[in-house]
Amino acid sequence: MIFNLYKPIGWTSFDVVKKVRNITGERKVGHGGTLDPFAGGVLIIATNSDTKKLGEISGTIKSYQAVLQLGEQTDTLDLDGKVVNSKPVPLLDKNLIKSVFKHFIGKHNQIPPMYSAKKVNGVRLYKLARQNKTINRKPVEVNIIDLTLNNIQDKQIDFSVTCSKGTYIRVLGQDIAKKLGTEGHLTKLMRISVGDFVVQDSIPLKEFETRWMSTEH
């Protein structure tokens, strides 16, 4: 079975997998693409033989809504990290930001962040990062299909992005900040869609558990 679940903020993607395993009693459970702990939104979960479809699902186009805080960079590139750099924020206006956004549309290389679930030589990068280790990461080609400005407030930019598999929105946020001449980190991230799966249809875990317990399997 395949489920479109709403990942709560503060949970890892594997936390959700474990929870679904406990609820359903199924041993074989997987997810269709990691979502950062600080982020919420669409997380596709599959059980049993349907886990074979997760590779195809994770390869589909994804969309996100994010808030970028300018002026400070954190080691994790999100609000969970510690500030490692700060810089004054220039005067912002919509035309300036939209012109910067245009720079990122299309295919370009992105270096995966140290705080990520990506494996290098069999070790997840975040495990090395927690040991204060930094290693060289190979750039990955990503495709930014759409980048839309939603709002500017104080030193924050609210934006939406549609992109290919493997795109790190935290890295995109940092790159946007640098292009604006400052630093930045994400304070909010929500995955709006994974292919045809949309957040409006995502089931909160509590509701998923209630539904599962009330039906026969």
pLDDT in tens, 141-157: 999 999 999 999 989 99
Q: How many domains does the chain have?
A: 2
Domain that holds residue 123: 62-194
Secondary structure class of 190 (helix, strand, coil): strand
pLDDT in tens, 78-121: 999 999 999 999 999 999 999 999 999 999 999 888 787 778 77
Residue 89 sits at φ, ψ, to 5 deg, of -100, 125
What is the pLDDT averaged over residues 202-210? 96
Looking at the fold, whether 55 and 66 belong to one and the same domain comes out as no
Looking at the fold, whether 118 and 137 belong to one and the same domain comes out as yes
Looking at the fold, whether 187 and 101 belong to one and the same domain comes out as yes
The CATH number that applies at residue 140 is 3.30.2350.10
What is the pLDDT averaged over residues 12-16? 94
Looking at the fold, whether 113 and 178 belong to one and the same domain comes out as yes
Are 4 and 42 contacting, i.e. CB atoms less than 8 angstroms apart? yes
Is residue 217 over pLDDT 70? no
pLDDT exceeding 90 applies to what percent of the chain?
A: 81
Looking at the fold, whether 74 and 120 belong to one and the same domain comes out as yes
Query: How confident is the prediction for the chain on average, in pLDDT?
Result: 93
Specify the pLDDT at position 3.
96
Specify the pLDDT at position 159.
98
Looking at the fold, whether 78 and 157 belong to one and the same domain comes out as yes
Looking at the fold, whether 131 and 48 belong to one and the same domain comes out as no
pLDDT in tens, 127-145: 877 888 887 888 889 999 9
Looking at the fold, whether 45 and 119 belong to one and the same domain comes out as no
Secondary structure class of 49 (helix, strand, coil): helix
**CA 30 to CA 13: how far, in whole Å?**
9
Looking at the fold, whether 174 and 128 belong to one and the same domain comes out as yes
Task: Give the dihedral sign, CA 58/53/194/13.
Answer: negative
Specify the pLDDT at position 120.
77
Looking at the fold, whether 116 and 49 belong to one and the same domain comes out as no
Question: Looking at 15, 36, 50, 75, which residue is catalytic?
Answer: 36
Specify the pLDDT at position 151.
96
Looking at the fold, whether 179 and 116 belong to one and the same domain comes out as yes
Catalytic residue at 75?
A: no
Q: What is the pTM of this model?
A: 0.92
Looking at the fold, whether 51 and 69 belong to one and the same domain comes out as no
